[in-house]
């Protein structure tokens, strides 16, 4: 059963997917190649920077001659996020709430959808290569008449420079072997960061940094804004996530509070601690 805040469909199709798929079929005889994008992470909570990372990656792949059919944000499993938050002494929002906030944020987004498969796996947390392989299987299962595309869509994993370096992703997914070995990588640096060189032969590309203040958003800063919950914090959350998410966190209805009782208990405890 899907958790609260998640779509009943673990990999709902982005709104642009049908149109982009038709475009890829029409261009199958040319060099335009179909692909999809994925990013994972704690997203504790999600913010516009996560969605923008996927847009920056999409722009790079389009310049390389790919038709990007869609992109997914995949918030990580509680069994990963919870212990990490405990070690850091920070707030842990449940997967249900993180998924709900992500859905609010991309509700009107054409390119980006929210994947809940990773967060809803029972009894364990799947690491990002497994999540990428699962998305690949799902996309392949949804493509009718794959011969009309020329090739099956390739999954590209989008991430920042720290994750790419720590996990050896500049060498490509081939190092993981198995079902994930055909996954590509797009590294998206923050402004001022220097990424390692691309490796097109291994399907590793480097995107441009995100422009403007969207690059400054961080889950840490957003969690800090939960501690005071005043008008300025509401305005910031509207800007960093969206107005619906800001209202949900700072001005929840009784029904919303009841649905995410444990999360709001943690948020209230944080407010009390900040006033002490």
Q: Cα 259 to the chain's mean position, in Å? A: 24
Tokens encoding 119:
């967060």
Segment 31-68, tens digit of pLDDT: 789 999 999 999 999 999 999 999 999 999 999 999 99
Tokens encoding 27:
């261009």
Report DSSP state, residue 14.
Answer: P
Kindly give the confidence (pLDDT) of every residue in the chain, 276 residues in length, as a single tens digit, with 9 standing for 90 and above: 334 444 579 999 999 999 999 999 998 767 789 999 999 999 999 999 999 999 999 999 999 999 999 999 999 999 999 999 999 999 999 999 999 999 999 999 999 999 999 999 999 999 999 999 999 999 999 998 888 888 899 999 999 999 999 999 999 998 888 889 999 999 999 999 999 999 999 999 999 998 888 888 999 999 988 888 789 999 999 999 999 999 999 999 999 999 999 999 998 887 655 554
Q: Where are the alpha helices (DSSP H) in the chain?
A: 17-26, 48-63, 78-88, 95-106, 117-120, 128-142, 161-166, 219-225, 231-240, 243-250, 254-259, 261-275
Whether residue 48 contacts residue 105, with contact meaning beta carbons closer than 8 Å, is answered with yes
What the chain holds in terms of domains, given with CATH numbers, is 17-212 (3.40.50.620)
pTM, whole model, 2 decimals? 0.94
Whether residue 249 contacts residue 268, with contact meaning beta carbons closer than 8 Å, is answered with no
Segment 238-254, tens digit of pLDDT: 999 999 999 999 999 99
49: left (phi over 0), alpha (psi -120 to 50) or beta: alpha
Supply the pLDDT for residue 272.
52
């Amino acid at each position: 059963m899907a958790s609260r805040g998640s779509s009943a469909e673990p990999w709902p199709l982005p709104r642009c997917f049908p149109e982009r798929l038709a475009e890829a079929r029409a261009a199958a005889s040319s060099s335009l190649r179909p692909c999809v994008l994925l990013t994972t992470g704690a997203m504790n909570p999600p913010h516009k920077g996560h969605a923008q990372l996927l847009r920056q990656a999409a722009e790079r792949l389009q310049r390389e001659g790919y038709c990007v059919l869609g992109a997914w944000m995949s918030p990580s499993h509680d069994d990963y996020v919870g212990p990490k938050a405990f070690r850091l002494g920070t707030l842990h929002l449940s997967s249900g709430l993180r998924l709900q906030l992500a859905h609010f944020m991309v509700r009107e987004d054409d390119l980006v959808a929210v994947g809940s498969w990773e967060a809803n796996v029972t009894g364990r947390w799947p690491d990002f290569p497994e999540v990428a392989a699962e998305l690949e299987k799902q996309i392949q299962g949804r493509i009718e008449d794959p011969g009309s595309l020329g090739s099956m869509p390739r999954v590209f994993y989008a991430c920042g420079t720290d994750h790419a370096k720590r996990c050896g992703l500049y060498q490509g997914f081939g190092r993981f072997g198995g079902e994930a070995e055909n996954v590509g990588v797009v590294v998206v640096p923050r402004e001022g960061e220097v990424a390692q060189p691309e490796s097109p032969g291994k399907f590793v590309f480097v995107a441009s940094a995100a422009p403007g203040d969207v690059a400054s958003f961080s889950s840490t800063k957003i969690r800090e804004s939960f501690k005071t919950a005043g008008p300025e914090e509401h305005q910031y959350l509207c800007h960093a996530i969206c107005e619906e998410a800001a209202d949900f966190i700072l001005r929840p209805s009784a029904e919303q509070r009841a649905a995410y009782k444990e999360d709001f208990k943690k948020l209230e405890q944080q407010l009390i601690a900040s006033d002490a």
